Structures are given as structure tokens and as C-alpha cells.
């Protein structure tokens, strides 16, 4: 299935993708709340496009297709738009027909960030029944010039990096742990109800700056840890954080759900989050409890909200963490 589109940070992008998929599969692919709604025969999951401000958009993809899909980007004669893809899955992005091999588990960190301009043709290949997880940031030259008050005479590093004639129309960078944290937060994090655009815009600008820095510093280091293992650990961390009202799963259970032995899981978790498994989630529970106490909620209710049925056990754990009991902490916050 071949879908043709052109790069743009406007909603025309999503409309073109929906129209192309509908025509190719013979069934309507609708758009609801800036997201594609797939017919069951085509695929399932999230394909969302958000215009953050004029000239800056993000595309959040976490889906699978039931047959292979190739998204072919047509080149534009004007070079007004740029895109950075952050690829968390085992599909590949090609430029000018130079097809690279699909990644192995050992090199998924490598070249997982792809930058290109709108005058460059490109293809993204999605295999059938393979999970696609990708964040793309699309922005216009005009947005960057206005956002950073840039002119050709005084633009400095940012202008020369993104817009000079010396910059290649495409380049690849290696993913690292810090970027992976941010990209996963964008894709799987719990977005705020009323300020989602600010939430995404902050992340988008931050990782654009990080990509710029990696490119300028010629940072080619590759993480030496297993990419799949790290993604599984991050996924289970996200699930547990979203349910702090439950008890913390045992280390054995968490390792089993991540398809790792207990020793590997514990060691890698500490490497990724700089705390051991139980300390990390105990801290998350106590910090969440402290935030709830400040709102004036009863101590017993707060204890249950972070998974403690017994009020005494909650008070003891809270005191060990903050060196003050929950009620005293709450009263201190009200002063």
C-alpha cells in the first residue's frame, strides 16, 4: 500500500494521509479530534497530528497496520519545511531511495533520529502487524525565524545549523537515554487536561535543541545497553506510575512482565533511573501523596490514593521519607 504526501506543519498533512489510506484500502479513514480512526481491516492504534502553533506541529504514532504500508514523501521545490523523526520501532526511513536494512536488536539506538527538509524525497516503511512507535516534529523556516527572532545577519548558531546552504538536506543521529525518556513521555505520558499544547510544545522545543546540539557536536556515541530491554522497563515504569493507588508489583513480577530475568531487570532499571526499583516507586508514591496532602484531602484518603490500605503503614512510610508525619506536613503547607 503506497501513500503519497507532502511535508507541511498544517492539518493538510493529516487530511492527505487519511485520504490516501482511504483510497488505498477502499474504506473510510476518518479524522476525529486530529487523530485517524482506522477501519479494523486496515489497522489499529494512535495516529495523531497536533498543530502546536502556526508553523510547528507534532505527529504521534503508536499503531500497527494489518498490511505493509509505505508513506512516500514527495519533494517540494521550495525548501520551507523541516522534520525530525524519532523512531522507536523497527521500521526504517529512507532518503532518495537509499534503503537501509531493518534494525537489529543490537543497533536500534543507531540512526533512530532522522532529520530532513521538504525538498528531499523520503519513505517510511511500515511492516504488517509490526508495532509502529514514532514521534515527528514538523516546523517551518518562518516559525523558527519568528520564534527565535532570527535574521540572516544575526542568526548565529541556530540559523547556520538548520538553514544554511551547507547543511545537508538530511542526516541521521543516534538515540540516547535522555532523548528516549522525552520521546516516550510525549508518546505515552499522561498529558495535562487543559494545557496539552503547552506540554507538547515544551518537549518539542527541548528535543529540537538537543538534536541541534548533537548534530553540531558530532555526537555519535551509541548506548551499549539493549534497546528493547530499556523500552520494556520504561513501559512498565509508566504503567506503575499511572496506577500509584495499587501496591508496587514485586521485582520478580515486574521482571517477568518485561521478559527479563530478575537480576538483569534490577540492574538495568537502576542504570536507567539512577535508583533501585523499590526506592524509585516508593519515592513516586510519597511525592504524589505530598502533593495530594497540600490540596487538603484527608490523610486516610491520601493513603489509599497511593496504595496504602492501613493508615498506620502509610504514616510510617511517609515519616520515613519526609521526616514528618502526613498531618504535620499538611498543616505546614497550609501556613
- Other beta carbons within 10 angstroms of residue 5's beta carbon come to 17
Q: Give me the pLDDT at residue 335, please.
A: 53
Q: Check pLDDT > 60 for residue 151.
A: no
Q: For residue 261, what are the CA distances in angstroms to 235, 268, 274, 282?
A: 16, 11, 19, 22
Q: Give me the pLDDT at residue 143, please.
A: 87
Average pLDDT, the chain: 87
Q: Which domains does the chain have, with CATH numbers?
A: 2-216 (2.60.120.10), 226-335 (1.10.10.60)
Percent of the chain with pLDDT over 90: 64
Q: Check pLDDT > 50 for residue 105.
A: no
Q: Output the pTM of the full model.
A: 0.86
Q: Check pLDDT > 80 for residue 99.
A: no
Q: Give me the pLDDT at residue 101, please.
A: 45
Buried b (16+ CB within 10 A) or exposed e, 131-170: bbbbbbbbbbbebbbeeeebeeeebeebbebbbeeeeebb
Residues 33 and 71: beta-carbon distance below 8 Å: no
| Rounded average pLDDT over 243-260 | 94
Span 4-17, pLDDT tens digits: 999 999 999 999 99
Span 194-242, pLDDT tens digits: 899 999 999 999 999 899 888 888 878 888 889 999 999 999 999 999 9
Least confident residue range of 35-49, 79-93, 186-200: 79-93
Give the Cα separation of 323 and 332 in Å (integer): 13
Q: Check pLDDT > 80 for residue 111.
A: yes
Amino acid at each position: 500500500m503506497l501513500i503519497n504526501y507532502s511535508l507541511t506543519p498544517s492539518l493538510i498533512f493529516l487530511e492527505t494521509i487519511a485520504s490516501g489510506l482511504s483510497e488505498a484500502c477502499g474504506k473510510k479513514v476518518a479524522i476525529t479530534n486530529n487523530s485517524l480512526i482506522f477501519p479494523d481491516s486496515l489497522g489499529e492504534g494512535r495516529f495523531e497530528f497536533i498543530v502546536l502553533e502556526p508553523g510547528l506541529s507534532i505527529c504521534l504514532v503508536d499503531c500497527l497496520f494489518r498490511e505493509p504500508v509505505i508513506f512516500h514523501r514527495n519533494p517540494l521545490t521550495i525548501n520551507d519545511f523541516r522534520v525530525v523523526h524519532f523512531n522507536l520501532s523497527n521500521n526504517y526511513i529512507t532518503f532518495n531511495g537509499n534503503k537501509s536494512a531493518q534494525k537489529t536488536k543490537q543497533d536500534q539506538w543507531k540512526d533512530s533520529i532522522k532529520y530532513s527538509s521538504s525538498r528531499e524525497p523520503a519513505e517510511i516503511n511500515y511492516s504488517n502487524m509490526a508495532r509502529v512507535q514514532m514521534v515527528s516534529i514538523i516546523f517551518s523556516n518562518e516559525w523558527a525565524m519568528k520564534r527565535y527572532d532570527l535574521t540572516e545577519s544575526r542568526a548565529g548558531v541556530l540559523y547556520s545549523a538548520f538553514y544554511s546552504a551547507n547543511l545537508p538536506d538530511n542526516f541521521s543521529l543516534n538515540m540516547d537515554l535522555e532523548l528516549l525518556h522525552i520521546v516516550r513521555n510525549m508518546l505515552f505520558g499522561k498529558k495535562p487536561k487543559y494545557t496539552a499544547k503547552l506540554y507538547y510544545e515544551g518537549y518539542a522545543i527541548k528535543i529540537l535543541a538537543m538534536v541541534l546540539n548533537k548534530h553540531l557536536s558530532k555526537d555519535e556515541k551509541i548506548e551499549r545497553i539493549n534497546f528493547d530491554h530499556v523500552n520494556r522497563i520504561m513501559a512498565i515504569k509508566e504503567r506503575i506510575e499511572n496506577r500509584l493507588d495499587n501496591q508496587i508489583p514485586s521485582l520478580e513480577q515486574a521482571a517477568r512482565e518485561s521478559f527479563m530475568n530478575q537480576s538483569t531487570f534490577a540492574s538495568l532499571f537502576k542504570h536507567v533511573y539512577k535508583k533501585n526499583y523499590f526506592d524509585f516507586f516508593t519515592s513516586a508514591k510519597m511525592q504524589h501523596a505530598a502533593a495530594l496532602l497540600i490540596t487538603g484531602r484527608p490523610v486516610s484518603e491520601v493513603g489509599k490514593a497511593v496504595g496504602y490500605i492501613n493508615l498506620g503503614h502509610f504514616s510510617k512510610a511517609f515519616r520515613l521519607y519526609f521526616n514528618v508525619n502526613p498531618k504535620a506536613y499538611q498543616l505546614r503547607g497550609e501556613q
